[in-house]
């Protein structure tokens, strides 16, 4: 790939002509050991969708080569759902009339204890966007509590500064997830009406700040259905490749959430994404970046999640609550979205075992 700047690559992804891709270009891209931005575009094209079997065969081979039969399990823990952003698609939006709440540190420890009993050792801590109601110091204290009980701690909160990400790392955070939602600037402005999340550039640079601060890994994603999913995923792939070149030691992973209905708010859905299209996305990302983890959340139904394991997905959530708390008792606030897979940890482990896969609770030892 010729040397181009990060922004030039994002612009190229958003301008890519997917309709111009033919079956021969798809075949050539599938044969390449290292894919370019154009190759990823080819694998995301309608032409590639005509023959998903070839993508599945290549994706299955690469997944087994890099991850074997291992599937990592984790669970989210929502600390708070207070939010000041006016977003047209999110259940936590300040526009929504929902029951708000936040966990005390004592509540957090009880939740972590309940998660620990399930055998899970990987937790993702989440909040809405409100520095007044769930500020960085509160988040760092919760992360430290999680690091005392569990082996791996992730953070999915509002974008932080480099100094704040350093504090998060020192508190025990292993990875940070920041999803751009959409890489199209005009659409981004359209769906983020008000609040700090409206700052496209600050959010876009957050994963790079986290890695610069010494956080071990980052998770990237786009909210599929907000705009043209092909353009967003092509930009997402380049974003990941850019970060991996800038920080070769970093663990890069993808998340591929589709829009889901949420309580108290009308979901904005411009471009619905089918299960077949989501499968194509996962397989294309696997072929493009074979070593990257790919998470599949409980937004998707059990049958789909189970059958995408081995075809690209390497990380599943289990025993999920999308409300504030709820692992150790009644929740403290309403859900962010309605989930499609209600299975607990033993049920997910059993399903994986029946398919010949091994549920992994931790893949990292903190020294």
**What distance in Å separates the CA atoms of residue 186 and residue 90, rounded to the nearest whole number?**
18
Helices assigned H by DSSP within the chain:
6-15, 23-31, 37-43, 46-49, 52-67, 105-117, 136-149, 162-171, 185-191, 200-204, 206-212, 229-246, 275-288, 302-308, 345-354
Residue 28, in any domain of the structure: no
**What was the pLDDT predicted at 267?**
60
**What distance in Å separates the CA atoms of residue 96 and residue 162, rounded to the nearest whole number?**
31
Tell me the per-residue pLDDT of 257-296, one tens digit each, with 9 for 90 and over: 998 776 665 566 677 899 999 999 999 999 999 999 999 9
Q: Provide the token pair at 88.
A: 């047209």
**What was the pLDDT predicted at 265?**
58
Residue 162, in any domain of the structure: yes
Residue 14, in any domain of the structure: no
**What distance in Å separates the CA atoms of residue 103 and residue 113, rounded to the nearest whole number?**
14
How many structural domains does the chain have?
A: 1
Residue 336, in any domain of the structure: yes
Residue 257, in any domain of the structure: yes
- Distances 132 to 82, 112, 135 between C-alpha atoms, Å: 9, 24, 6
**What was the pLDDT predicted at 355?**
96
| CATH number, position 248 | 3.20.20.70
**What was the pLDDT predicted at 1?**
45
**What distance in Å separates the CA atoms of residue 19 and residue 24, rounded to the nearest whole number?**
13
Residue 143, in any domain of the structure: yes
Q: What angle do CA 62, 219, 307 make, to 5 degrees?
A: 45
Residue 331, in any domain of the structure: yes
**What distance in Å separates the CA atoms of residue 100 and residue 78, rounded to the nearest whole number?**
12
Residue 97, in any domain of the structure: yes
Residues of the domain holding 266: 71-358
**What was the pLDDT predicted at 260?**
78
What is the pLDDT tens value at each position of the chain, 367 positions in all? Answer: 445 677 888 888 899 999 999 999 999 999 999 999 999 999 999 999 999 999 999 999 999 999 999 999 999 999 999 999 999 888 888 888 888 999 999 999 999 999 999 999 999 999 999 999 999 999 999 999 999 999 999 999 999 999 999 999 999 999 999 999 999 999 999 999 999 999 999 999 999 999 999 999 999 999 999 999 999 999 999 999 999 999 999 999 999 999 877 666 556 667 789 999 999 999 999 999 999 999 999 999 999 999 999 999 999 999 998 889 888 887 776 666 678 899 999 999 999 999 999 999 988 776 6
**What distance in Å separates the CA atoms of residue 104 and residue 110, rounded to the nearest whole number?**
10
Chain centroid offset of residue 222 CA = 8
């Amino acid at each position: 790939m010729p040397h181009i700047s990060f922004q030039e690559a994002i612009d190229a992804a958003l301008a890519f002509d997917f309709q111009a891709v033919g079956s021969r270009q798809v075949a050539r891209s599938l044969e390449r050991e290292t894919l370019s931005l154009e190759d990823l575009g080819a694998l995301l094209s309608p032409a590639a969708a005509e023959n998903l079997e070839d993508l599945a065969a290549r994706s299955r081979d690469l997944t087994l080569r890099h991850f074997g039969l291992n599937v990592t399990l984790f669970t989210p823990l929502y600390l708070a759902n207070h939010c000041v952003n006016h977003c047209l698609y999110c259940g936590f939006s300040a526009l929504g009339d929902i029951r708000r709440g936040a966990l005390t540190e004592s509540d957090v420890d009880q939740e972590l204890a309940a998660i620990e009993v399930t055998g899970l050792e990987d937790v993702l801590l989440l909040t809405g966007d409100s520095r007044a109601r769930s500020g960085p110091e509160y988040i760092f204290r919760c992360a430290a509590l999680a690091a005392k009980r569990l082996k791996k701690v992730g953070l999915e909160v509002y974008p932080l500064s480099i100094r704040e990400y350093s504090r998060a790392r020192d508190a025990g955070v292993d990875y940070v997830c920041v999803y751009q939602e959409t890489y199209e600037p005009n659409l981004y402005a359209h769906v983020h009406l008000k609040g700090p999340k409206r700052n496209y550039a600050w959010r876009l640079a957050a994963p790079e700040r986290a890695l610069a601060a010494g956080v071990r890994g980052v998770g990237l994603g786009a909210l599929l259905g907000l705009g043209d999913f092909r353009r967003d995923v092509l930009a997402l792939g380049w974003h990941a490749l850019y970060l991996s070149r800038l920080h070769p030691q970093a663990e890069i992973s993808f998340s591929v959430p589709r829009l889901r209905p949420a309580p108290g708010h009308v979901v904005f859905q411009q471009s619905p994404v089918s299960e077949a299209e989501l499968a194509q996305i996962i397989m294309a990302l696997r072929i493009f970046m074979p070593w990257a983890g790919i998470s599949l959340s409980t937004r998707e139904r059990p049958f789909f999640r189970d059958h995408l394991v081995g075809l690209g997905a390497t990380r599943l959530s289990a025993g999920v609550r999308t409300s504030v708390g709820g692992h150790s008792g009644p929740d403290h606030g309403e859900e962010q979205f309605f989930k499609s897979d209600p299975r607990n940890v033993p049920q997910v482990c059993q399903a994986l075992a029946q398919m010949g896969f091994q549920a992994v609770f931790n893949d990292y030892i903190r020294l």
